[in-house]
């Protein structure tokens, strides 16, 4: 009998978002989650949430039903090498670029679920793509998918599409935040109170998302046109964006993001 249902190997921004989101959604109690992370800041934050801090990786792997691999790609191989002799039977990976086959080269008999979530899982508004290894464990996969489904939408996708996902939901929260930051800095430089401007920007971002969600069949261009009256204010900005290549800028930036995901692939 395992002591913990989930054992997080690394619990930075993404790992913490998953763990906290699952607990906040009522799917798991904090004491059912164990964490191993050398960062003192991470340890303090996890302890404050009620998660158990494992003294080492051996304890975490031995006592956890499922190991959640939530480290950076740069150190993932060294972590996998250090735990390969421990009794790990189920692995959920959130590591960008690391294929199921590569993880199973360390754990040939383990059931591996590769995921790509995003940080809004922390407020139960995330999105997670999942892909499972071929050794059939339908009940385990259904359980893992259900965990992620309680904190956002999920979809099963072929592993060869995972590189493209960074440009759909993995990295795009940062795009939205950065665009909002640019708008906020511009409007406050023009004299508006920052607190008020931020509140309006955030609520507009949330409301715009809800409108998009309310009519998934409606072309995105129609949403743009609905705000742009002829000869009005909004069309001035949209026309400038179009004439100065915002679409091409986004394509180039997104391409760099996707290319980097391909470079990290193993």
Closest CA to 50 of 98, 13, 94, 4: 4
Residue 127's pLDDT is what?
92
Per residue in 167-191, pLDDT (tens digit) is: 888 899 999 999 999 999 999 999 9
Residue 193's pLDDT is what?
96
Per residue in 133-172, pLDDT (tens digit) is: 877 788 999 999 999 999 999 999 999 888 888 888 889 9
The number of C-alpha atoms within 13 Å of 119 and in the hemisphere containing its C-beta is 12
The CATH architecture of the domain made up of 170-263 is: Orthogonal Bundle (1.10)
Judge contact between 104 and 110, C-beta under 8 A.
yes
Domain 4-162, what fold? Rossmann fold (3.40.50)
Residue 79's pLDDT is what?
96
Q: Taking the domains of the chain in order of start, what are their residue ranges?
A: 4-162, 170-263
Residue 226's pLDDT is what?
94
CA 76 – CA 68 distance, rounded (Å):
12
Please give the C-alpha separations between residue 53 and each of 14, 141, 174, 266, in angstroms, as whole numbers: 17, 26, 29, 30
Residue 86's pLDDT is what?
96
Per-residue pLDDT of the chain (266 residues; tens, 9 = 90+): 788 999 999 999 889 989 998 998 899 999 999 999 999 999 999 999 999 999 999 999 999 999 999 999 999 999 999 999 999 999 999 998 899 999 999 999 999 999 999 888 878 889 999 999 877 788 999 999 999 999 999 999 999 888 888 888 889 999 999 999 999 999 999 999 999 999 999 999 999 999 999 999 999 999 999 999 988 999 999 999 999 999 999 999 999 998 888 887 78
Token pair of 145, please? Answer: 């998918």
Task: Supply the angle between the helices 172-189 and 194-214 in degrees, to the nearest 10.
Answer: 140
Helix (H, G, I), strand (E, B) or coil at 6: strand
CA 48 – CA 29 distance, rounded (Å):
13
pTM, full prediction? 0.84
Judge contact between 123 and 21, C-beta under 8 A.
yes
């Amino acid at each position: 009998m395992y002591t913990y249902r989930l054992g997080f190997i690394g619990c930075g921004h993404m790992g913490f978002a998953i763990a906290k989101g699952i607990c906040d959604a009522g799917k798991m109690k904090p004491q059912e989650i164990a964490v191993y992370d050398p960062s003192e800041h991470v340890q303090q934050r996890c302890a404050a949430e009620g998660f158990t801090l494992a003294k080492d990786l051996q304890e975490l792997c031995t006592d956890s039903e499922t190991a959640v691999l939530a480290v950076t790609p740069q150190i993932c191989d060294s972590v996998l090498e250090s735990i390969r002799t421990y009794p790990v039977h189920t692995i959920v990976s959130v590591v960008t670029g690391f294929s199921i086959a590569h993880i199973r080269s360390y754990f040939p008999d383990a059931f591996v679920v590769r995921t790509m979530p995003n940080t809004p899982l922390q407020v139960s508004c995330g999105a997670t793509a999942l892909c499972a290894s071929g050794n059939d464990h339908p009940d385990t996969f259904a359980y893992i998918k259900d965990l992620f489904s309680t904190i956002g939408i999920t979809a099963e996708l072929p592993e060869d599409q995972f590189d493209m996902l960074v440009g759909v939901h993995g990295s795009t929260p940062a795009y939205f935040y950065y665009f909002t930051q640019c708008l906020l800095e511009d409007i406050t430089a023009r004299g508006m109170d920052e607190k008020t401007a931020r509140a309006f920007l955030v609520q507009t971002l949330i409301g715009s998302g809800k409108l998009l969600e309310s009519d998934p069949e409606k072309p995105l261009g129609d949403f743009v046109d609905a705000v742009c009256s002829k000869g009005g204010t909004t069309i001035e900005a949209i026309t400038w964006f179009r004439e100065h290549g915002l679409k091409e800028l986004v394509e180039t930036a997104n391409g760099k993001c996707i290319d980097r995901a391909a470079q990290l692939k193993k």
